[in-house]
A and B are shown apart, each in its own frame.
Chain A
Amino acid sequence: MASSMLLRSTLPRSFASATGRNVLRSALQAIYSGTVNDPTTFPPSSKTHGSYHWAFERLLAASLVPMTTAAFVTTGSSYPVLDGLLGISLVMHSHIGFDSMVVDYLHKRKFPIIGPAMTWILRTATVGVLVGVYQFNTNDIGLTELIAKVWTA
């Protein structure tokens, strides 16, 4: 009798497998996890997704200001490197903006299928856009030149 009591208190795993749920037995109480009453989970804290991402986003947006004004006063053909940098920065800025919209309006907590799907569709689209911008800047007149010409067409 005494030995079976001891066994029960030191080996809780038989009880856990019987119910199919996790039962962590501390000294006097049982904690259930894996039910619908669990609190919401938080993503692990990481500087890459937190403060570094924020700083990168602001620095990128700030760098766009002198780049657009410079592209405005010159032409794309005279400074192709500027044109290329502007194209890449604009695409990155747009991607971060779209990603924030997906996180805000289609979070995977509420949209377990559409949320992650849209994230990956956005990433694929951004890769395609980068290739398209490269092709356009290389084989054609480039973004700033196009805007200048269309504006005065």
Chain B
Amino acid sequence: MEEEMHTDAKIRAEIGTGCSPRGPGCSLRHFACEQNLLSRPDGSASFLQGDTSVLAGVYGPAEVKVSKEIFNKATLEVILRPKIGLPGVAEKSRERLIRNTCEAVVLGTLHPRTSITVVLQVVSNAGSLLACCLNAACMALVDAGVPMRALFCGVTCALDSDGTLVLDPTSKQEKEARAVLTFALDSVERKLLMSSTKGLYSDSELQQCLAAAQAASQHVFRFYRESLQRRYSKS
């Protein structure tokens, strides 16, 4: 009888499905999200974009070491673990980008002298890793109940040699592209929170990519809304 109750308890995780299937031009891969799947962290989420999958856990607001405490706001820490090997410089730089995005959105002044830690584990990497990490971090922060002033999402664009824009590229498309741009956008006015770009592109192409990312972020935010509504409808 005890086993029955435990299996019922496991059905609390939600799986949501994303938007249209991949076609030529601008469309996102299939995405899915699961919340509250880990028992130890205060909030957790797993975000899937095509074959790229990232697991995020959030602890906070929790105790902070005196050396790291900030007197008037929360100390936000992001830890990114790659799938294989030890974390290196690339992970450090991604951690910094994700941390800056989260700090812009999380209301740290409500919890001074505490720490909010986001731990991200790459489960599989098939392109658009940074965007997937951002989405997973956002869902995990919402699951943990950390106060935020808006939601945020990550969108990746790749520009190939003839200038065609591909949203949410796979690793093969990223390798062949001449520029890969990742943007973090907020949910209130689709403002740009963070941008990380690699490669060669012109000013007008940057504006085009940003506009395409803003349009695509709508799908992501709609998906967030649907998956959160589904989660709360069960209670």
Bound pair (A, B): no
Contacts from B to A (Cβ < 8 Å): none
Contacts from A to B (Cβ < 8 Å): none
